[in-house]
Chains A and B, each alone.
Chain A
Amino acid sequence: MSARRTWLRWAVPLAVLPVLGLLAYGFRTDPRDIPSPLVGKPAALFTLKAFDGSEVSLESLRGQVVVLNFWASWCYPACYEEAPALERAWLRFKDRGAVFVGINIQDKDEPARRFLDQFNLRFANAPDAGGRVAVDYGVYGVPETYFIDRSGRIRLKHVGAVREDFLAEQIERLLAEAS
C-alpha cells in the first residue's frame, strides 16, 4: 500500500516535467525563424532581365562575392530601412570584388522602379516575375539577403533588414577567403 503511494507521488511530477520541458522549449523558439537547408550548398543559377534592360546572370559572377538581396516595394519598413545601407555597402565594395544583386519579388513594375529611384539604387536589380528564383533560394518573405562566396556557395542567409556594418563584416570575411 505505502509502496503504491510513493510510486504515485513520483509518477505525477515525472509525467508533468517532460510536458513543462517541451512547453519551455516550444515557447522560446521563434516559429518564424526557420534555418535554411541551403546554407553551404551551391547557389541556384539564374539569369534575369534587369530593370535597366541588361542581363543579370549569377554564373557570370563566379569568382566574386555576391550579395543577393530579395526585396519588394510594399515591404515597409524593413526594405526601406536597408536600401540606403545596401547602396552604401555596394559603393564601398564594388571595386574590391563584391557584387550586389537586388531581386524584386511579388511586385509591380511601376512601384518597384519608384523604389529604385527613391533610394537611387545603382547596383543590378531585376524583377523575378514568376517567383522561381525566390523559391530556388527558399525565400519566405522580404527582405532576405544571401551571401554567396567566390566558389558560388551560399554561406549565409539573413532574414530582415541588413545593416551596413553587418554587410561589411560578412563581405570582408568572404573576400578574405581564396577562391
Chain B
Amino acid sequence: MLASAVGSPPLPSERAGRSRRGRELPWRAGMAAAAEVLLVALALLASSASAAGPVDEDTVTAVAAELRCVVCQNLSVADSPSETARQMRDIVRERLALGETPEQVMAYFVDKYGTWILLSPPRQGFTLLVWVAPFAVLLLGLGMVAVLVRRWSPRAGAPAAPGAAIDPGTQARIRREVAETDR
C-alpha cells in the first residue's frame, strides 16, 4: 500500500517536465517538477498515514490501559501478560491501523462487553456518582468538622466552666507528690 503510493507519483510529473523542457525552460521546469513530485508524495504519505499508516505503539498502550483484561482480576490489557490480553492488544493495533480513533476502538469493546470492559467507569449517567460521591462526601465531612469544632471551642468572654479552678488543698498535695517522685 505504502510502497505503491510512493512509487506512483513520479510518472505524471516526469511527463510534465518533458513537455516544459520542450518549451526551452529546462531549469525552471526541473524545479517545478521536483516540487510537484514532492508535494504529491507528501500528500499521498499524509493521507495514507491517517487512513492506514503505521500505528503508534504509545496509542495502542494508551487504549489497552483503559481496557480490562477479561481473564484477569483487575488488570488492564496493557499490563496483563496473558494470551487473551496479547490478542486484545493485537485487535486494538489492527483497528487503529485501519484508521479508527482510540474512542472508536474502545466503543467496539464496550459494544461487545458492556462498560464493564472499561477500567474507569464512564463519567455520565449512574456511574458519574462514582466520580462525584467521594468529593461530595469529603466536603460534607469537612463541613461537619468545621461546625463541631466551632461548637466545641469555648466562646470568648464565656465564663470558665465550674470546677476548672483547683482548690488550694489539692494543689498543695499535687506539688508535694510531684516533688516526692522527683526525689
A130 adjacent to B114 (CB under 8 Å): no
Nearest Cβ on chain A to B139's Cβ, whole angstroms: 15
A130 adjacent to B71 (CB under 8 Å): no
A138 to B115, CA, bound (A): 12
Contact of B65 with A by CB under 8 A: no
B84 adjacent to A130 (CB under 8 Å): no
What are the residues of chain A within 8 A of B116 when measuring CB–CB?
A: 34
Main secondary structure of the interface of B (DSSP, over half): helix
Q: Using a Cβ cutoff of 8 Å, how many contacts connect chains A and B? A: 42
A141 adjacent to B71 (CB under 8 Å): yes
A134 to B113, CA, bound (A): 11
What are the residues of chain A within 8 A of B88 when measuring CB–CB?
A: 131, 135
Contact of B59 with A by CB under 8 A: no
With A37-B112, A38-B112, A141-B71 given, is the CB distance from A135 to B91 under 8 Å? yes
8 contacts between A and B (CB under 8 A): A106-B84, A130-B87, A130-B91, A131-B83, A131-B87, A132-B91, A135-B87, A136-B112
A-binding residues in B (CB < 8 A): 70-71, 83-84, 87-88, 90-91, 109, 111-114, 116
Closest 8 CB pairs of A and B: A131-B87, A138-B112, A37-B114, A140-B70, A138-B113, A106-B83, A34-B116, A135-B91
B-binding residues in A (CB < 8 A): 34-38, 106, 130-132, 134-141
